[in-house]
Amino acid sequence: MLLGMGTVFVFLTLLVFVTSIMSALVEKYGPVQPAGPKNPGAAGQLDEATLLAVISAAIHAHRSKHK
């Protein structure tokens, strides 16, 4: 039992170190994220009436498909 617990402990410790190293490498060599729009709220914002219509249509389509 002690051998199994030791094996799991070593594996999890190794997993933590490998994940940390991979994270550091991705941050260093990973692709650069492009800058977003200057005003993110105005670019993709829907008014409430349009949003309500889209949600209602999605609910109607789901209910008609799963009767």
The number of domains in the chain is 1
User: Does residue 1 sit within a domain?
Assistant: yes
User: Does residue 5 sit within a domain?
Assistant: yes
Please state the pTM of the whole predicted model.
0.47
What gap in Å lies between CA 64 and CA 67, rounded to an integer? 6
User: Does residue 43 sit within a domain?
Assistant: no
User: Does residue 13 sit within a domain?
Assistant: yes
What gap in Å lies between CA 45 and CA 32, rounded to an integer? 26
User: Does residue 67 sit within a domain?
Assistant: no
Query: Containing domain of residue 15, as a range?
Result: 1-29
User: Does residue 62 sit within a domain?
Assistant: no
Q: For 20-61, what is each residue's pLDDT tens digit?
A: 999 999 999 988 877 766 665 554 566 888 889 999 999 999
User: Does residue 60 sit within a domain?
Assistant: no
User: Does residue 16 sit within a domain?
Assistant: yes
Which pLDDT does position 17 carry in this prediction?
A: 98
Whether 23 and 16 have beta carbons less than 8 Å apart is answered as: no
